[in-house]
Amino acid sequence: MSTTTGARREQGIPYGAAPAGSAGQGGRGQRRLTRRRWRPGVGRALMVAFLLSWSLGPVVIGVLTSISTQRDVSSTPTHLLPSAPTLSAYRSLLGGATAGGAVAAGTVSTDETGAFRGAVLNAAVSTSLTVVVVLAVAVTAGYAFSRLRFAGSRVVLVTAIATLAVPVVAVLVPLFQLLAGARLIDTQLGLVLVYSSATAPLAVWLFFNYCQDVSTDPEEAALLDGCNRWQALRHVVVPQLVPGIAALTAIVMLAVWGQFLIPLLFAPTAHTKPVSVLVTEFSGKYRTDYPLVAAAGVLALVPPAVVASVLNRSIRSMLGTASV
């Protein structure tokens, strides 16, 4: 029997009971443990707050600027909150009478409404056509690389994916020469061809990885029942891949809608100029209507924001599959 055990028995303390004073030590230990658990929580909260401020801060400032007056944003110091909120910039872009009439800004004429509507329509047409072309290529090619085994399939797939490492500026001059020779500069067809060639490799890679995780049992059953590959793809595989197709649609749309350098070079006139390029032209050399620029930027953000919000879960699922 140890000396400590004997001393505890002499003091009438049962075996296993905590000695006097240990309750205070246990309380201090519990408080230390609580602090250790509390500190990581505070760190995560600060990190989330920083990311939200970093991501949403410019959007909030843009919205506030769009409803401000030129005097508010030009004052020193600048007023972050508008003293007299107004929607005149949005009325200038979308149509409607304003207190001071149409206001020219930058290199855009006084018809901001017509220029903005035309640019939005151009962006919608080129983006929609690109999505259709890329989906047709990505669905068929991704399915073929995933399911079929043919000579050189892996080499072709790796080569297509490797083109993603080529910077756009490295191929702008050859692309311009090709399109100029084919008389496709300042045409929707030329823009769609360039957009498709830039986004198709990524789309094929994403859809290939997505097909890898889809069960082949329904497809094999259809083939045993007499369907050929095209029939099985159309009637069995495509319905299984609807979530992936929806996510790929959103990813391609987001990638194309915000393009700036390509349309800046290949769509120089209002005939094909998208809204991403037009926004910069509201800024002039000697005068810039900042509320008008901010309003145009806010309106240009609406379509991709809606698509990303609606298909957020599908996008995360596809990108998570590609990262595995």
Would you list the domain boundaries of the chain? 114-286+296-323
pLDDT tens track for 265-323? 999 888 899 999 998 888 766 678 888 889 999 999 999 999 988 888 777 776 665 54
Phi, psi of 283, rounded to the nearest 5 degrees: -100, 120
Q: What is the pLDDT of residue 38?
A: 56
pLDDT tens track for 232-260? 888 888 888 888 898 899 999 999 998 99
Looking at residue 164, the DSSP 8-state letter turns out to be: G
Could you tell me which residue, 137 or 319, shows the higher pLDDT? 137
Whether 115 has a pLDDT exceeding 70, the answer reads yes
Q: What percent of the chain has pLDDT over 70?
A: 79
Whether 92 has a pLDDT exceeding 90, the answer reads no
Three-class SS state of 105: strand
Positive/negative CA dihedral, 158, 164, 168, 170: negative
Q: What is the pLDDT of residue 100?
A: 43
Question: Strand pairing partners for 288?
Answer: 283
Closest by CA to 273, choosing from 250, 247, 243, 296, is 296
Interacting residues of 201 by C-beta distance below 8 A, sequence separation 6+: 160, 161, 163, 164
Give the CATH architecture of domain 114-286+296-323: Orthogonal Bundle (1.10)
Q: What is the pLDDT of residue 104?
A: 47
Question: Cα(first)–Cα(last) distance of the chain, in Å?
Answer: 60
Can you give the pTM of this predicted structure?
A: 0.77
